[in-house]
Amino acid sequence: MRKLILLAFIFITSNEAFAQNVPQGFDLSNYGVRIEPDKRVMLVLATLEAARTKSEAGESVPVINTSLSADGVKFREQLKSDMAALNEDLRAKISQFVIAYKSRNPDKTDAQLVAPFISMAYALTPVPELADPVVTSDLPGNLLDVLDFAPLVRDFYRRSSFSGNVNDYIKIYQKAADGNLRGSAREMVSDLLGYLHTKPQLFYAEKIKTETQKGKSKTAKISNVESRSRERRFFIVPELLAPVGDINFLNIKDDYFVVLPAETDLTFSEVRRGFLQFVIDPLVLNSSKDIAAIRDSIKLLLDERRKADPKASPDVYLTISRSLVAAIDAKQNESIRNRIATEQSRENITRAKTVDEKKAVSAILEKYKAEQADETLLQLSEDYDKGAILVFYFAEQLGSVEDSGFDIASSMREMLLSFDAAKESGRYAKYADARKRAVAAREERKKNPTATMIAENPVTTRLLEITKVIDSKNYAQAATELKALLTTNPAEPRIFYNIGRVASLSAESLTDEEQQKAKLLEAKVAFENVLRIAQKQQIDAALLSLSYVALAKLYEFYDDRTYAMGIYDAAIKVGRVTGGAYDEALAAKARLIKEQ
């Protein structure tokens, strides 16, 4: 018990040490952000869960069976139990609709089939009425395809136990969201607004012309212009029944909704763009006079682009908004990665013992920054291909915002009026070489994701050499070389991780029980050392994630499943980072839940 308490303390403090520096007292509501489940979405997806069909073996199986997070799998089982007594006639009608809809869309995955139903939920009025929209002519086609599901949703709400349990479900959703979503939301909002030096516009003043009758006259009227203020809100909607990895974004008038699994890490997710849209949209609308001055030149660029891609939007305002959002996303991403790399390089230079080692660290940092610049240009090019034809221009303009620290709202006028259409025609072709380098770098990262360390130091080169020894299965030599490297770098977490990895691999080939136990203990101690180091300094998120999962596997081996599940939870909270073990932790936790 003492051992378990000690390790539990390590896990808690290591996560705290890894947390980003969000200002104290940072309240999301001050920035228009709300994190709360939506009963309509919960209800619509719960109704979908009621649809059943027969397998080839004659068993009753779900018509739509999406992959869920660990918490989602658990909630699905609870919902299945709660709905066991659902009226069979209603279940049959629900099943018939969903089966027919799925048969009409044979090329879509279950996750893709669910997306229109989420949109449909927001077309309905709040519970308990759940009334259809008054006007349907302007609804997108994929939503109209599922709108006839609404009467079944209303029946499900009235005739199932959902309405009686919904408040308990809300508590489950909020608890799941508080585990990771709220913290990463604060980091995302803080990082993006810090980069833009701004705050979102939470109220939009709209001028409306009104007419009142003049005195007793039946024809004479008095015209007035009234100013009405509309509140703007950004909702992050945790949904346990949302497919893992899927993010659904909707903009309904002044409200922006992002529906996603409750365990999503928002730091580098698609949610960033949704929030940036929330911030940028009113700035573009407020700049209508300045946009009018350059409208014709942008229109010419759009017309030229539409010759190559007829699907590109002809809307000037939409093009400006999309291009600016895409540019901010790419440039802020590059900025934060370079900042982290620079901080790590400073630490590595401090630890370096010779001038040559310090120069090597600096050279690697410069190489890394060059690679990041190429990656940004590739990302901008991908957005250009999607219709954001001003993305290169705004990315260039953002450089002055970064350097000056000015609020982007105060910089919008200058950014727009500095636009020169003649300079934009050759932008895409100009960066062809950078795109080729970035594509090659991406392919290299896919082949060896764990080998890419931000701002490598000389230890990295040696570790890569030892990795080749490990790959050749010469574990004894690898262990000897790792321990020798550790003597000169006693606080390097990557060395401890590789010592643990080699010990685990060695244990697999041993038949002597005592020798195997000794190797597994060596592995356990090494992985725990990674976590101890994380208490004192920020370490690579992927390394932290991998260490959690490796340690959890050891506890699984010794049949301590409860504690293994807790460690998998710690890995999940780190989030889906490149080179990490997020998906593996999710799958392992889901498997343990099923085996309970």
The pLDDT score that the predictor gives to residue 108 is 93
Residue 558 pLDDT greater than 60, yes or no: yes
- Indicate the pLDDT class of residue 10, thresholds 50, 70 and 90: very low
The pLDDT score that the predictor gives to residue 216 is 66
- Indicate the pLDDT class of residue 1, thresholds 50, 70 and 90: very low
Beta-carbon contacts of 270 under 8 Å, excluding residues fewer than 6 positions away, are 247, 249
Work out the mean pLDDT of the chain and round it to a whole number. Answer: 86
More confident residue, 134 or 435: 435
569-586 pLDDT, tens digit per residue, is 899 988 877 678 888 898
- Indicate the pLDDT class of residue 9, thresholds 50, 70 and 90: very low
More confident residue, 499 or 57: 499
36-79 pLDDT, tens digit per residue, is 999 999 999 999 999 999 988 889 999 999 999 888 999 999 99
- Indicate the pLDDT class of residue 25, thresholds 50, 70 and 90: low
224-257 pLDDT, tens digit per residue, is 777 788 999 999 999 999 998 899 999 999 999 9
Residue 32 pLDDT greater than 90, yes or no: yes
Residue 210 pLDDT greater than 80, yes or no: no
The pLDDT score that the predictor gives to residue 22 is 57
Please give the C-alpha separations between residue 400 and each of 173, 269, 397, 405, in angstroms, as whole numbers. Answer: 42, 26, 6, 8
What is the mean predicted confidence (pLDDT) over 524-535? 89
Residue 442 pLDDT greater than 90, yes or no: no
The pLDDT score that the predictor gives to residue 16 is 32
User: Please, how many CA atoms are within 13 Å of residue 394, restricted to the half-sphere of its CB?
Assistant: 30
Structural domains present in the chain: 38-169 (no CATH), 307-447 (no CATH), 450-595 (1.25.40.10)
Between helices 110-123 and 39-49, what is the axis angle to 10°?
140
Residue 352 pLDDT greater than 70, yes or no: yes
Secondary structure letter of residue 421 according to DSSP: G
What is the mean predicted confidence (pLDDT) over 478-502? 90
Instruction: Tokens for 590, please give them.
Output: 């889901």
SS3 for 87-140 is CHHHHHHHHHHHHHHHHHCCCCCHHHHHHHHHHHHHHCCCCCCCCCCCCCCCCC
Alpha helices in 352-457 (DSSP H): 355-385, 391-404, 408-417, 427-430, 432-447
More confident residue, 45 or 5: 45
The pLDDT score that the predictor gives to residue 449 is 55
Give the highest mean pLDDT range of 151-165, 335-349, 357-371, 465-479: 151-165
- Indicate the pLDDT class of residue 458, thresholds 50, 70 and 90: low
The pLDDT score that the predictor gives to residue 167 is 95
278-312 pLDDT, tens digit per residue, is 999 999 999 999 999 999 999 999 998 888 888 88
What is the mean predicted confidence (pLDDT) over 449-455? 48
90-127 pLDDT, tens digit per residue, is 999 999 999 999 999 999 999 999 999 999 999 999 99
- Indicate the pLDDT class of residue 20, thresholds 50, 70 and 90: very low
- Indicate the pLDDT class of residue 18, thresholds 50, 70 and 90: very low
The pLDDT score that the predictor gives to residue 491 is 82
What is the mean predicted confidence (pLDDT) over 466-479? 85
What is the mean predicted confidence (pLDDT) over 587-594? 86
94 vs 117: CA distance, rounded Å:
13
432 vs 429: CA distance, rounded Å:
5
- Indicate the pLDDT class of residue 479, thresholds 50, 70 and 90: very high
Please give the C-alpha separations between residue 133 and each of 63, 337, 387, 541, in angstroms, as whole numbers. Answer: 27, 45, 31, 45
Q: To which residue do tokens 């889901």 refer? A: 590
206 vs 113: CA distance, rounded Å:
38
Residue 275 pLDDT greater than 90, yes or no: yes
